[in-house]
Amino acid sequence: MSNKHLVSIGDFTKEEILKIMELASFFEQNKSERLLQGKVIASLFFEPSTRTRLSFETAINRLGGRVIGFSDSGNTSVSKGETLHDTIKMVSGYADMIVMRHPVEGAARYASEVSMVPVVNAGDGSNQHPSQTLLDLYSIIKTQGTLQDRHIMMVGDLKYGRTVHSLIHAMSHFGVKFTFVAPEELSLPDEYKMYLKENSVEFTETTDFMEQINECDIIYMTRVQRERFSDLMEYERVKNTYILRSQMLKDTKDNLKILHPLPRVNEIDKDVDDSPKAYYFEQAANGVYARMAIITYLLGVK
Ligand code: CP
């Protein structure tokens, strides 16, 4: 039987996404089901991470599995010149699944073609971050009661933001309306706009943060990612363009929730943290349940 991978959110159908939501809810209520006993999962992080790596590793531990891997490829034979091909080929002989983050777009797809076991993309450059998307969807369901017909405002770095790219794709299944708020330099790439048009998804673009803030159900804030800029002067110019402050929320909808994949730098002022509309830390906690669901689903563990 061929392996099922999660490299792009498009690897999952709408039905599979909904199945993951069901499983995540099950695992939230059953936090220590020992379904991975005897399984070993490799956690290969070629790029820094706090949430994704630790929530995957928590998920594996809660499921009774074992983790091998690294959080700094500088301490591995990659530093001696070993290729990604050889690293993946070899690790897939050790483990039952590989969770991998890599700075190069397409690295996870390449790994899935080389690997003998399922590969989960934990973020590849500015391309995709599908496990983040599944926890984002789970957070939307938990706070809105549905994924259907939401108005989502995405703010910040829509050009390099891989969480944005994956979430746009996933929400397109659910009658969504998007408002994109970004400086011109960081606007959503054309390929995603074309995808939305082809799938008849309504969206508007603006540079005015306040224009539709009172109409949306979700504000999805993102960090301007210093590490993606080759010109640091340009980063300095755009980094503080959009900062969400609590006074901006005064006329927003009662059901509004603020999401952020985190880490934040200063795009959400700390005074927002006390608002009942702030949901980003709960969102991060939901990552454990969503990742328990992804792992068991891909391994076919009942
Ligand atoms: N959301 C996210 O990917 O966070 P980390 O970079 O800390 O894993």
What is the number of the ligand 1 atom nearest to the C-alpha of 52? 8
Between the CA of 185 and the centroid of ligand 1 the distance, in Å, is 23
User: 202 in helix, strand or coil?
Assistant: strand
Q: Is the CB of 161 under 6 A from ligand 1?
A: no
- Range of the structural domain that residue 69 is part of: 9-129+287-299
Q: Is the CB of 121 under 6 A from ligand 1?
A: no
Q: Is the CB of 290 under 6 A from ligand 1?
A: no
CA-nearest of 76, 101, 160 to 126 is: 160
Q: What is the pLDDT of residues 133-183, one digit of tens each?
A: 999 999 999 999 999 999 999 999 999 999 999 999 999 999 999 999 999
What angle in degrees, to the nearest 10, is found between the helix axes of 190-198 and 162-171?
10
The first and second tokens of residue 106, run together, are 């397409």
Please tell me the distance from the alpha carbon of residue 22 to that of residue 98, in angstroms, as a whole number: 23
What is the layout of strands, in order, in the sheet containing 218-221?
Answer: 202-206, 177-181, 151-155, 218-221, 257-259
The first and second tokens of residue 217, run together, are 């159900």
What is the predicted pLDDT for the residue at 1? 52
What is the predicted pLDDT for the residue at 226? 87
Q: Could you tell me which residues come within 8 angstroms of residue 96 by beta carbon, excluding any fewer than 6 positions away?
A: 39, 40, 41, 117, 118, 299
Q: Could you tell me which residues come within 8 angstroms of residue 292 by beta carbon, excluding any fewer than 6 positions away?
A: 23, 24, 27, 33, 59, 62, 63
Pocket test for ligand 1, best of 49, 54, 132 (most atoms within 8 A of CB): 49
For residues 17 and 64, membership in a common domain is answered with yes
- The backbone torsions φ and ψ at residue 70, rounded to the nearest 5 degrees and listed phi first, read -150, 155
Between the CA of 201 and the centroid of ligand 1 the distance, in Å, is 27
Between the CA of 51 and the centroid of ligand 1 the distance, in Å, is 5
For residues 116 and 217, membership in a common domain is answered with no
User: 159 in helix, strand or coil?
Assistant: coil
For residues 101 and 156, membership in a common domain is answered with no
Q: Is the CB of 261 under 6 A from ligand 1?
A: yes
Please tell me the distance from the alpha carbon of residue 116 to that of residue 105, in angstroms, as a whole number: 21
Q: Whose CA is nearest to atom 4 of ligand 1?
A: 51
Q: Is the CB of 49 under 6 A from ligand 1?
A: yes
**Number of domains comprising the chain:** 2
For residues 31 and 97, membership in a common domain is answered with yes
For residues 157 and 179, membership in a common domain is answered with yes
Domain membership of residue 51 (yes or no) is yes
For residues 183 and 246, membership in a common domain is answered with yes
44: part of which helix (H) or strand (E)?
Answer: strand 40-45
For residues 101 and 183, membership in a common domain is answered with no
pTM of the model: 0.96
CATH number of the domain residue 88 falls in: 3.40.50.1370
Q: What is the pLDDT of residues 32-66, one digit of tens each?
A: 899 999 999 999 999 999 999 999 999 999 999 99
Please tell me the distance from the alpha carbon of residue 183 to that of residue 162, in angstroms, as a whole number: 17
- Residues of the chain scoring pLDDT < 50: none
Pocket test for ligand 1, best of 50, 121, 279 (most atoms within 8 A of CB): 50
The first and second tokens of residue 67, run together, are 């983790």
Q: Is the CB of 263 under 6 A from ligand 1?
A: yes
**Mean of per-residue pLDDT scores for the chain:** 96
For residues 68 and 153, membership in a common domain is answered with no
For residues 32 and 152, membership in a common domain is answered with no
What is the predicted pLDDT for the residue at 97? 98
For residues 197 and 237, membership in a common domain is answered with yes
For residues 61 and 149, membership in a common domain is answered with no
Q: Is the CB of 266 under 6 A from ligand 1?
A: no
For residues 75 and 64, membership in a common domain is answered with yes
Q: Is the CB of 227 under 6 A from ligand 1?
A: no
What is the predicted pLDDT for the residue at 302? 83
